[in-house]
Amino acid sequence: MPVYFLYVIRENRRCILRTLLSFLLVAVAATGQTDTKGPAKQSRPNVILIVSDDMGYSDLPKFGKSEIPTPSIDRLAEEGVLFTDAYVTAPICVASRMGLLTGQYQQRFGIYGNIYGEDRTRLFRRQTLLPAVFQDAGYRTAHVGKWHLSGNKRMQYETAGPCERGFDESVAIRGGDSAFWEGTPVFRNGKQFPAPEYLTDLWGTEACAFIDRAHAQPFFLYLAYNAVHSPMHALDGDRAKFPKVEDENRRTYDGMLLAMDRSIGRVLDRLDKHGIADNTIVVFLNDNGGGGSTTRYALHSRNFANNKPLRGHKFDVLEGGVRVPMIMRWPGHVPAGKSYGKLVSSMDVYPTLVQAAGLEMQKEQEADGVDLLPFINGKNQSKPHEWLCWQNRSWSPRTPGGPVKPKSKIHNSAIRKDHWKLVRMNEKIGPDESAPAWQLYDLSTDIGERKDIADQHEDRVKELSALFETWRASMHPTLE
Ligand SMILES: [Ca+2]
């Protein structure tokens, strides 16, 4: 049967199921109101998934040495679990968000970078995204902020926008970046209007309004800030909070992150106001490492973030590109103030949230992520992942020392197992190409990946490279 008809049948089945569940939920709520005094106790947890954009690993005081006060994100960490060794599946927006919202390595559907267009994303479109699982179960689902999952700029919502992928409602920017100023074009369910305030504040306003509307029923909110992605736009009042920061660009970055923390704080306060903080899972993570601060990095992603002591930035499979701050808060269900140091992935968010809500995983969609709850609660003392792999299109300078651009069929790869990290740069993808040598780093003594010790540990290189090649053979070839 043609793929299109299969798609139509699946979508219709989803609509029918959703309608039945909505009736059921209404009936249950009505029954509860006759039996109890006050609001019916909601059993299924709400979910808020917060994503920041291009933030530096060390720009949050809980993760590094930062001059930026972030009391709201600090609060999440103090009331939840902080993951020191969390990774995204790609060092760049589109691919990373695909891994997050499918619970899979995006290489399973041929994605190795920021790739657009119907022909190249057709396999991705067959995947059931995380919000669709919640929508099917009768949750009210909303997307606020950046999408960047089906195209860029003008192509963004022509096909497969948020409301076609599991969201009941969406207020968003188009493309991978946007101006932040009041008046910037934003889109509510696809219809354009001028932003009435600074964008990072607007996302907070919209998130709070959604919580006000949806708090009486289970809801799923994907709050994807475009902060602190360039362009470097901060409110004067926020920049003025950093008089001691001499670098003007860094001062702007600090103001942008300060605004994001303020916006997140409003959302957390709103949960408290409605008395639903204890029944709401909040996950925070960053989509890829901070952009660089020199002309080596593309202007559109140069944001003066600080990844130190990690090496590399956005675009790199080095730690600075793929290791990210991640926090999960769910009072009474995950420990407060705990730090979890084993290897975890953004792919784990999907199964963790689905199973926390008592929902079913998609049987036809093989999950690469795992449910983290048993691990962080100490019920499972083993590792969520023995290893994690990365393979992404290489971004190389146009000219020596010049800005970078993506290179088709030239990839960077890496695998981490325990504290060992194997890295291979600028491999030409093709049947007759010989791959450059692997570099090996010991993250337990060299978190900055400065000293290649491959020569001293040939057995380790052999073991990890074999694991990587087995993983790669199980993925779909690149579609670019
Ligand atoms: Ca990004």
Q: Do domains 42-376 and 387-473 have the same CATH topology?
A: no
324 near 285, Cβ under 8 Å?
yes
DSSP notation for 110-154: T--SS--SHHHHHHHHTSPPHHHHHHHTT-EEEEEE---SS-SGG
Three-state secondary structure call for residue 339:
strand
- Catalytic positions are 93, 148
133 near 352, Cβ under 8 Å?
no
pLDDT higher than threshold 60 for residue 22: no
Ligand 1 centroid, distance to 188 Cα (angstroms):
22
Three-state secondary structure call for residue 14:
helix
- % of the chain beyond a pLDDT of 70: 87
Task: Return the CATH number of the domain spanning residue range 42-376.
Answer: 3.40.720.10
Ligand 1 centroid, distance to 28 Cα (angstroms):
41
Q: Which residues are near ligand 1, the ion (C-beta closer than 5 Å)? A: 53-54, 93, 287-288
User: Domain spans of the chain?
Assistant: 42-376, 387-473
Ligand 1 centroid, distance to 301 Cα (angstroms):
8
pLDDT higher than threshold 80 for residue 205: yes
Q: With b meaning 16 or more CB within 10 Å and e meaning fewer, what string describes 273-285?
A: ebebbebbbbbbb
Angstrom distance (rounded) from CA 321 to CA 65:
18
CATH of 387-473, one of 3.40.1080.10, 3.30.1120.10, 1.25.40.20, 3.40.50.720: 3.30.1120.10
Ligand 1 centroid, distance to 196 Cα (angstroms):
24
pLDDT at site 18:
52
pTM of the model: 0.91
Ligand 1 centroid, distance to 447 Cα (angstroms):
22
Maximum average pLDDT range among 7-11, 15-19, 187-191: 187-191
Task: Choose between 401 and 252: higher pLDDT.
Answer: 252
Angstrom distance (rounded) from CA 207 to CA 202:
8
Q: Across the beta sheet with 387-397, what order do the strands follow?
A: 387-397, 404-417, 420-428, 439-442
